Amino acid sequence: MCLAIPGQIVEFSTEQAGLAKVDVAGVKRNVNVSLLQDEGVACGDWVLIHVGFAMSKIEESQAKDQLRMLSALGEDEMAMDEIRGYSFAERE
Amino acid sequence: MKYVDEFRDPQLIANVSREIARLAGAGRHYRIMEVCGGHTHAIYRHGLKNLLPPNVELIHGPGCPVCVLPMGRVDDGLSIAQQRDVIMTAFGDMMRVPGTRGTPLEHKARGVDIRMVYSPLDALRIAQSTPEKHVVFFAIGFETTAPSTALTLARARALGIKNFSVFCNHVTIVPAIRAILDSPDMRLDAFVGPGHVSTVTGCRPYEFIARDYGKPVVISGFEPLDILESILMILRQLRSGEARVENQYRRIVPWEGNLPALQAIGEAFELRPYFEWRGLGFISQSALKVSSAFAAWDAEVQFEVPGIRVTDPKAAQCGEVLKGVLKPPQCKLFGKECNPEHPVGALMVSSEGACAAYYRYVHLSESVPA
Ligand code: SF4
């Protein structure tokens, strides 16, 4: 239950509204982006992810910094495990 | 790379810390509570205590969702898990929290079907792929996590998934702060407000703290410099006799919060009249239950919930630590019977718990030069 994992949106799902693929340090998984509908999100945007949902948009420099923060807190592995663990939009 | 360098720049940190010492002066003691467990974790990890003068004291607040869940609720969840054809799902943190007869992980080892998930949406997916079972999601967390559960409920309803429900333990931060402010041993001067909870709630819900109780609140980020700057902003207010809500974490927290998230919470949940918090007792309107519109997805409607109440082990002083009355090492069990491998209390389980953070990092913080 990492507090906030930064990722970059690389692709929107054509099958499910509000679903987008994010890239977190090379690992790509689907997350739900519907909480950012008011602000609007586009490919290339950086977001903070919490339990499978994008919670807020951030600047790229902040995203990089957040990744460093996670590693400083010794939570980078945990965060990557969490991202790898999201499997809700994978095909069975 | 503005951010990367700025937040770690030793020179800047030294400057802010010197300015804090200057403002704090002498002759007065400042007690500042960081409400959020993420801040507690960062404060220990970065050894920030050593950058503050001795008369500026940081008190750890109730902002770790695992830590404030009373043991009885863990037992309640486990009793649901043990029913026929149930798959219980929970976040990793939850798996190691002791109930009366062991943690969820230990129950799993005894054959109870309990699975760790990283997102409530994963719990829903398990329900879709195992229609012969009923999947329950053990929901915990503050306003940061509640929207995710809410949207998962909405999705279950939209897809007509009937074999899924939520055992809801979501709590809200504001009533807990109010309970602390109203408690007779309250001696706090100000609050470092939660960073990520506020991305959802915005800053307005904290205004009563400044208005009605005259205490400054500064919503803070999690970098060392963020937290130090927030303390500086608090001291400026205290020195000039002001009490306002300020937003140090503007780069992430919008003043008005996240409307779609608040809406999702409003649709899927109702306020419980009261809820028990570990260490803080019953607090009225401090927690969420699944709303009647979603009763078909409410584990407390679908299952018999015993409503177990358990008092914590006598020697455990989690309650005092949670209220900021005791520091972790002042608990009789700290580092002895209670350690991260064998936690007695939840404060030793979650990395955001004061005891776990203290246990893990205090040797580091002691080696950081003041
Ligand atoms: S050391 Fe263990 S028992 Fe004591 S307060 Fe911390 S978590 Fe509770």
The mean pLDDT value of chain B amounts to 91
Q: Is the CB of B328 under 6 A from ligand 1?
A: yes
Q: Is the CB of B345 under 6 A from ligand 1?
A: yes
Distance CA B266, CA B315 (A): 40
- Find all residues with CB under 8 Å of B106, minimum gap 6, and list them: none
- pLDDT at residue B3 above 50? no
Task: Count other Cβ atoms within 10 Å, centred on residue A34.
Answer: 19
Contact B122 A85 (CB under 8 A): yes
What's the pLDDT score for residue B152? 97
What's the pLDDT score for residue B51? 92
Work out the average pLDDT over B223-245.
Answer: 95
Q: Is B221 helix (H, G, I), strand (E, B) or coil?
A: coil
What's the pLDDT score for residue B236? 96
pTM of the predicted protein model: 0.91
B215: DSSP letter = -
Q: What is the pLDDT of residues B154-174, one digit of tens each?
A: 999 999 999 999 999 999 999
Work out the average pLDDT over B120-124.
Answer: 96
The mean pLDDT value of chain A amounts to 86
Contact A64 B251 (CB under 8 A): no
State percent of chain B over pLDDT 70: 96
Which residue did the predictor score with more confidence, B106 or B183? B106
Nearest-CA distance A61 → chain B (Å): 6
Distance CA B158, CA B270 (A): 19
Which residue did the predictor score with more confidence, A56 or B279? A56
* Chain B residue set in contact with A, beta carbons under 8 Å: 1-4, 7, 38, 41-42, 45-46, 91-93, 117-122, 124-125, 129, 141, 144-145, 147-148, 151, 196, 199-200, 222-223, 251-252, 258-261, 264, 351
What's the pLDDT score for residue B366? 47
Distance CA B79, CA B82 (A): 5
pLDDT band at B315 (very low <50, low <70, confident <90, very high): confident
- pLDDT at residue B149 above 50? yes
Nearest-CA distance A87 → chain B (Å): 6
Q: Select from A25, A39, A19 the least CA-distant residue to A87.
A: A19
Residue B176 CA to chain centroid, in angstroms?
11
pLDDT band at B6 (very low <50, low <70, confident <90, very high): low
- pLDDT at residue A57 above 60? yes
Work out the average pLDDT over B197-203.
Answer: 95
Residues of B in contact with A19 (CB under 8 A): none
Q: What is the pLDDT of residues B95-105, one digit of tens each?
A: 999 899 999 99
pLDDT band at B62 (very low <50, low <70, confident <90, very high): confident
Q: What is the pLDDT of residues B14-38, one digit of tens each?
A: 999 999 999 998 889 999 999 998 8
pLDDT band at B369 (very low <50, low <70, confident <90, very high): very low
- pLDDT at residue A91 above 60? no
What's the pLDDT score for residue B187? 86
pLDDT band at A1 (very low <50, low <70, confident <90, very high): low
Work out the average pLDDT over B33-51.
Answer: 89
Q: Is the CB of B347 under 6 A from ligand 1?
A: yes
Q: What is the pLDDT of residues A20-47, one digit of tens each?
A: 999 998 899 999 999 998 888 999 999 9
In the numeric block, the tokens 């803080």 are attached to B280
What's the pLDDT score for residue B365? 44
Determine the atom of ligand 1 nearest the C-alpha atom of B313: 3
Q: Select from A2, A53, A70 the least CA-distant residue to B92.
A: A2
Q: Select from A33, A29, A53, A30 the least CA-distant residue to A45.
A: A33
Q: Select from B262, B314, B271 the least CA-distant residue to B290.
A: B271
Tokens read off for B237:
């207010």
Q: Which of B2-6, B141-145, B193-197, B300-304 has the lowest mean pLDDT?
A: B2-6
What's the pLDDT score for residue B7? 61
